[in-house]
């Protein structure tokens, strides 16, 4: 029921209020529950987020999606929570979520109806924003259904979404503003000044790479975003716009499908890893109270989360993309992705979207190609490729099923009372030590497992499973630099 995004979001759309550095972590109900949601199930999710240690990992928001209101506004024009689903009202839900140390998110649409045909906020922006603020809402997902044709140019869409941005700011309450206009009219070019995130594609579905005619576009330049967009479809659309994301304003690749049953474990690992690398908000979209150990150990991998939460906030970019053997859907590729991290570290991902396991290789020259071709290149001093690098596998310390099941069954906790996180290779508590500080302290759960060292001008190789990923943190070896002319 909840959606998790990385780190706290503060502020609606005022650039001065936006959180710097990190994408958000949240939990949202739509992928797992649809309209079948009420106060009991929402609050059960919130409590389980705390019990399972998600709050300690930085998953801060519990987000209520569509279908929460009456079908009609009140006599004074206000939105009204459905009294059958939420008998104590929305403020009581908000108060309980806040009492758990979590933040509360809600949903509306920049149209006359929500996507499920409940009352929405077009023309009611100030009234609805104040209602949300009065209820203690900390986050607003703002959809794009029934928009009265007010799209087709960037200016039309900007004005429609900016009306709610201004209304949220006018309330004086910090509310994270999540635009959900599916990439229509290129929000990555203009939303940074009035929103904290924007959806850049049609809706995701639980498939790694199966094409679907209802998601007709394969690039960002799309007039019909559609829905049923696969993981690889969305990654392909993000390739050209990754640089548009920045601290406080993020490309949102949509909620995570991890745990919903349509993909293999390797595919879910690749899905989660790539969302983290591109710095999408991480939004848990599965049934948290009923999740399995394997789902938990993916969503709770602190070494991967630390890449998403890196204080530099730099999204990964694709260095190369190559054809590979195709699967039953005619899809197949292999790619190298690189992200610069704070403190001089780097993250790399070798993504095998081919149909069979493959040995993938990335040279240091490929990994650091930007350093050689921008900012003065080789003339500006020794290049990173002329140094040795230590390689840390970010999935090597994945939590085992026994430990995960112990947490999920309530036989262990991750808050330090039963399971100590101070020197664990699997567990981390970001409420005690921020990710940035944990990296500085070389916390083993964040670094991953050191698996090799690469000499200057060397390469990294990995056997990557079908529809799988190898993901590493690279850390420069001290005193290992050599000038290029000495090699």
Greatest alpha-carbon span in the chain = 80
Distance of CA 15 to the CA centre of its chain: 20
Which residue numbers are catalytic?
A: 143, 203
Q: How far apart are the first and last CA of the chain?
A: 56
> Is residue 107 within a helix (H) or strand (E), and if so which, with residue range?
strand 103-109
pLDDT digits (tens, 9 = 90+) for 317-351: 999 999 999 999 999 999 999 999 999 999 999 99
Output the pLDDT for position 23: 67
pLDDT for res 382: 82
pLDDT at 365: 97
**Stretches in the chain below the pLDDT threshold 70:** 1-32, 375-381, 413-420, 479-487
CA distances to 41, 216, 288 from 38, rounded to whole Å, are 6, 34, 15
Token pair for residue 118? 């409940």
Report the candidate in 190, 199, 242, 238 with the shortest Cα–Cα distance to residue 218: 238
Strand-pairing partners, residue 473, are: 347, 392
**252, 177 in Cβ contact below 8 A?**
no
Residue 422: the pLDDT is 72
The pLDDT assigned to 375 comes to 65
Residue 25's pLDDT is what? 60
Question: For residue 416, what are the CA distances in angstroms to 50, 55, 233, 289, 320?
Answer: 13, 13, 40, 21, 42
pLDDT tens, 382-435? 899 999 999 999 999 999 999 999 999 988 765 544 456 777 999 999 999 999
- Structure confidence at residue 77 (pLDDT): 97
């Amino acid at each position: 029921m909840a959606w998790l995004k990385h780190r706290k979001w503060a502020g609606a759309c005022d650039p001065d209020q936006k959180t710097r550095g990190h994408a958000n972590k949240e939990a949202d109900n739509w992928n797992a529950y649809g309209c079948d949601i009420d106060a009991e199930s929402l609050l059960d999710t919130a409590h389980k987020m705390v019990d399972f240690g998600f709050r300690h990992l930085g998953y801060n928001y519990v987000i209520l999606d569509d279908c929460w209101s009456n079908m009609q506004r009140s006599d004074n024009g206000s939105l009204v929570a459905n009294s059958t689903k939420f008998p104590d009202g929305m403020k009581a839900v908000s108060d309980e979520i806040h009492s758990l140390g979590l933040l509360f998110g809600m949903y509306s649409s920049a149209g006359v109806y929500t996507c499920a045909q409940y009352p929405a906020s077009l023309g009611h922006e100030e009234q609805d924003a104040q209602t949300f603020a009065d209820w203690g809402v900390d986050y607003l997902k703002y959809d794009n259904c029934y928009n009265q044709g007010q799209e087709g140019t960037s200016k039309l869409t900007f004005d429609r979404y900016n009306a709610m941005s201004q209304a949220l700011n006018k309330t004086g309450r910090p509310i994270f503003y999540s635009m959900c206009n599916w990439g229509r009219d290129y929000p990555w070019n203009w939303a940074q000044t009035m929103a904290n995130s924007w959806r850049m594609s049609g809706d995701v579905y639980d498939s790694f790479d199966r094409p679907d005619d209802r998601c007709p576009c394969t690039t960002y330049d799309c007039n019909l975003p559609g829905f049923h967009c696969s993981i690889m479809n969305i990654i392909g659309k993000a390739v050209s716009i990754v640089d548009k994301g920045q601290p406080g304003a993020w490309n949102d690749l949509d909620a995570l499908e991890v745990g919903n049953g349509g993909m293999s474990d390797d595919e879910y690992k690749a899905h989660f890893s790539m969302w983290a690398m591109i710095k999408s908000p991480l939004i848990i979209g599965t049934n948290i109270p009923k999740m399995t150990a394997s789902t938990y150990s993916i969503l709770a991998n602190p070494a991967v989360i630390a890449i998403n939460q890196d204080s530099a906030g730099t999204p990964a970019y694709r260095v190369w993309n190559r054809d590979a053997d195709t699967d039953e859907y005619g899809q197949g590729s292999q790619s190298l992705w690189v992200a610069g991290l704070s403190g001089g570290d780097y993250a790399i991902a070798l993504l095998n979207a081919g149909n069979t396991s493959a040995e993938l290789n990335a040279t240091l020259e490929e990994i650091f190609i930007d350093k050689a071709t921008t900012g003065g290149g080789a003339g500006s001093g020794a290049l990173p490729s002329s140094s040795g690098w230590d390689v840390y596998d970010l999935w090597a310390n994945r939590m085992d099923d026994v430990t995960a099941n112990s947490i999920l069954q309530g036989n262990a906790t991750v808050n330090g009372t039963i399971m100590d996180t101070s020197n664990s290779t699997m567990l981390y508590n970001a409420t005690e030590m921020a990710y940035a500080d944990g990296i500085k302290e070389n916390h083993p759960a964040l670094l991953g497992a050191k698996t090799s060292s690469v000499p200057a001008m060397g390469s990294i190789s990995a056997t990557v499973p079908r529809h799988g990923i190898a993901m590493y943190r690279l850390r420069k070896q001290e005193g290992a630099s050599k000038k290029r002319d000495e090699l």
